[in-house]
């Protein structure tokens, strides 16, 4: 699709290297799902810190760069379904969700639609999850239902 193995990377002015990864996730709605070939987990991460700063400072070019990568990926495959799960390894998942929501505004432009929910684990920790697809995806309603059923099924098991 794009980048090598669907991995895009860029370096900020502050010397942080970001990776935007579209990892194939055919099992999410079931291996035999109609959507198995077009569903990806969207991963946005700092791959390398070449600076002396602990965390990336604000950089006005990060959001539009991620938006351009995202838009490029969807141009190559308009039926793409992306699932974004906020990393919780350091309990900063709600901060990541807020940042992702701000970034999403850069590529929304009425072309994309996003459905937000959360998955809860057995100890009650919430993991924000977003489903993103093109507004004109002909399977939009069915995909939304499949997403909500997946979330409900996962949360019900806990």
Residue 115 lies in a domain: yes
Helices 62-76, 93-108: axis angle to 10 degrees equals 70
* pLDDT, position 121: 84
pLDDT at 155 over 80: no
- Count structural domains, the chain: 1
Q: What angle do CA 102, 108, 110 make, to 5 degrees?
A: 145
Q: What angle do CA 41, 46, 48 make, to 5 degrees?
A: 130
Instruction: Measure the CA dihedral 142/85/110/22, to 10°.
Output: -90
Query: Sorting pLDDT into bands at 50, 70 and 90, what band is 100?
Result: confident
Residue 93 lies in a domain: yes
Helices (H), ranges, 17-84: 62-76
| pLDDT tens for each residue of 24-62 | 999 999 889 999 999 999 999 999 998 888 888 889 999
- Overall average pLDDT of the 91-107 stretch: 82
| pLDDT tens for each residue of 61-76 | 998 999 899 889 999 9
pLDDT at 103 over 50: yes
| pLDDT tens for each residue of 16-26 | 999 999 999 99
**Residue 38 belongs to domain spanning:** 7-156
Residue 1 lies in a domain: no
* pLDDT, position 65: 92
pTM of the model: 0.87
């Amino acid at each position: 699709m794009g980048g090598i193995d669907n991995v895009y990377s860029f370096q900020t002015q502050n010397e942080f290297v970001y990776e935007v990864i579209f990892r194939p996730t055919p099992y999410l709605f079931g291996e035999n799902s109609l959507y198995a070939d077009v569903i990806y987990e969207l991963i946005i991460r700092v791959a390398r810190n070449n600076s002396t700063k602990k965390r990336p400072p604000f950089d006005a070019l990060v959001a539009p760069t991620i938006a351009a990568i995202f838009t490029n990926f969807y141009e190559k495959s308009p039926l793409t379904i992306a699932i974004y799960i906020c990393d919780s390894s350091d309990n900063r998942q709600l901060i990541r969700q807020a940042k992702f929501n701000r970034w999403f505004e850069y590529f929304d432009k009425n072309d994309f639609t996003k459905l937000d929910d959360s998955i809860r684990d057995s100890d009650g920790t919430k993991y924000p999850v977003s489903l993103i697809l093109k507004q004109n995806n002909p399977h939009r309603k069915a995909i939304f239902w499949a997403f909500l059923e997946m979330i409900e099924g996962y949360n019900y098991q806990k």
